[in-house]
Amino acid sequence: MTPARVGVFGLLGSGNLGNDGSLEAVLGYLRAEHPKAVVDALCGGPEVVTARYGIPATRLHWYRGEYRTASRAGAIAAKGLGKLVDAFRTAAWVRRHDVVIVPGMGVLEATLPLRPWGFPYSLFLLCASGRLLRTPVALVGVGAAPITDRPTRALVRWSARLAAHRSYRDTLSRDAMRAMGVDTARDEVHPDLAFALPAPPAAESSGTVCVGVMDFHGGNDDRARAEEIHRRYLAGTTAFVRALVEDGRRVRLLTGDACDAPVVEAILAAVDSPLVTAAEAASLADLMKETAAADAVVATRYHNLVCALQAGTPTLALSYAAKSDALMELMGLGAYCHPAREVDADRLLDQFRSLEKHAAELRRTLTERNEAAAHQLARHFGALTTALFPSKAPQETG
């Protein structure tokens, strides 16, 4: 029997550490349970994926200027042609595989600004190709949320319907897809895939506070006031960092995507102190090491929260979407959420002091919840093998 040909698909290698962490978790599962599987990727950053994970990778879009705003007629025509070419490229790529996996990520949501003819269109092409060519497409541990924009909602709904397998990283995601008309009766919920990654060893107290920042401009429905939301978020976060420094605390700034760098630079410029430094994390493993070495974490990006929680560090969420609140509730820290759209530095500081006051208790809670998450993911990976590799799994693991 020939080895299974497995494709992985998504905005991988494009600078988002959370997306790459989900890929790393799925690759770990494949290498452990299906070591003979031949794996390659169709992704946003093929050079990075190949260099970092050692698998062949193909560029997601034919048109290299896909993510640049097209204003001239030539660029608009090239982008339109690219959409047509991508339909054939995606189908040709799907045809070469026995199964395609979309590893985690918020592929069924629009909690951040998103155009329907961007990634939602690419995901629809993938799932439609899989259905037409009888190649199962599995959406594994993905995030979803209600979508008001009609074209985006339609593409996301049809992508989910055409997928052969769906599982979600929280119940809110499954409920959102059910509300959009997808039959979720057989769809499972399990913790985020990043909880399958190895956690760093516990570190001694350093007195450092990690503050994870984000280039936050609101969601897909907030485009009209995006700049106002960003200014308020940056001002509130900067005031909080300044208050920590005035208390003599060391602050370590974290990011989760390459686009967050300007926010770090703005805070460093506004709070001119040797107590404030910036981490240069290249992976979720790097982020976990940073958070494990901290006394506490305050973070915005979803996977900054995942890293801190898995590291067992008391964490406060600057929450920008319901998925962050759901994650904090799952891990027993539901009381420690603060709205990213309305950062009030004084109230945030009060919540932070409460977090530190109950740190020992929260660390015990996180230890228990992390163990439960690991067990749930192990069961899910077993179910995934049954669903996607019913005939190949015995030979590959024997």
pLDDT at 395: 44
Nearest CA-CA partner of 38 in 80, 78, 3, 75: 3
| pLDDT of 137 over the 90 cut | yes
In a domain, 214, yes or no: yes
In a domain, 197, yes or no: no
Q: Tell me: the pLDDT tens digits for 62-99?
A: 876 666 655 566 666 777 788 899 999 999 999 999 99
**pLDDT band at residue 393 under the 50/70/90 scheme:** very low
In a domain, 357, yes or no: yes
Instruction: Find all residues with CB under 8 Å of 160, minimum gap 6, and list them.
Output: 108, 127, 139, 144, 166, 177, 180, 182
Q: What is the spatial distance between Cα 115 and Cα 123, in angstroms, rounded to a whole number?
A: 13
Check whether residue 213 and residue 355 sit in a common domain: yes
Check whether residue 139 and residue 253 sit in a common domain: no
| pLDDT of 394 over the 70 cut | no
- For residue 37, give the CATH number of its domain: 3.40.50.2000
Check whether residue 165 and residue 130 sit in a common domain: yes
| pLDDT of 131 over the 90 cut | yes
Check whether residue 215 and residue 298 sit in a common domain: yes
Q: Which residues pair with 253 in a beta bridge?
A: 211, 278
In a domain, 224, yes or no: yes
Task: Give me the mean pLDDT over the 292-298 stretch.
Answer: 96
DSSP H helices in 148-201: 150-162, 171-179
Nearest CA-CA partner of 175 in 154, 156, 189, 161: 189
Check whether residue 365 and residue 252 sit in a common domain: yes
Task: Give me the mean pLDDT over the 211-231 stretch.
Answer: 90
In a domain, 252, yes or no: yes
Check whether residue 366 and residue 220 sit in a common domain: yes
Check whether residue 212 and residue 182 sit in a common domain: no
In a domain, 194, yes or no: no
Check whether residue 86 and residue 185 sit in a common domain: yes
Check whether residue 137 and residue 28 sit in a common domain: yes
pLDDT at 33: 93
pLDDT at 273: 96
Nearest CA-CA partner of 196 in 286, 104, 107, 282: 104
| pTM for this model (two decimals) | 0.89
Q: Tell me: the pLDDT tens digits for 305-361?
A: 999 999 999 999 999 999 999 999 999 999 999 999 999 999 999 999 999 999 999
Check whether residue 26 and residue 150 sit in a common domain: yes
Which among 136, 159, 189 is the end of a domain? 189
Q: Tell me: the pLDDT tens digits for 251-267?
A: 999 999 999 999 999 99
Average pLDDT, the chain: 92
pLDDT at 293: 94
| pLDDT of 48 over the 50 cut | yes
3-state secondary structure of 11: coil
Q: Which domain holds residue 256?
A: 208-371
In a domain, 394, yes or no: no
CB 321 within 8 A of CB 219: yes
Task: Give me the mean pLDDT over the 24-49 stretch.
Answer: 96
CB 167 within 8 A of CB 380: yes
| pLDDT of 367 over the 70 cut | yes
In a domain, 196, yes or no: no
Q: Tell me: the pLDDT tens digits for 11-32?
A: 999 999 999 999 999 999 999 9
* Total count of domains within the chain: 2
CB 254 within 8 A of CB 299: yes
pLDDT at 397: 40
At 86, give phi and psi (nearest 5°).
Answer: -65, -30
Check whether residue 262 and residue 312 sit in a common domain: yes
Q: Tell me: the pLDDT tens digits for 187-206?
A: 999 999 999 999 888 777 78
* DSSP string covering 49-111: HHHHH---EEES-SSTTTTSPP-SHHHHHHHHHHHHHHHHHHHHHHHT-SEEEEESSSTB--S
Check whether residue 217 and residue 294 sit in a common domain: yes
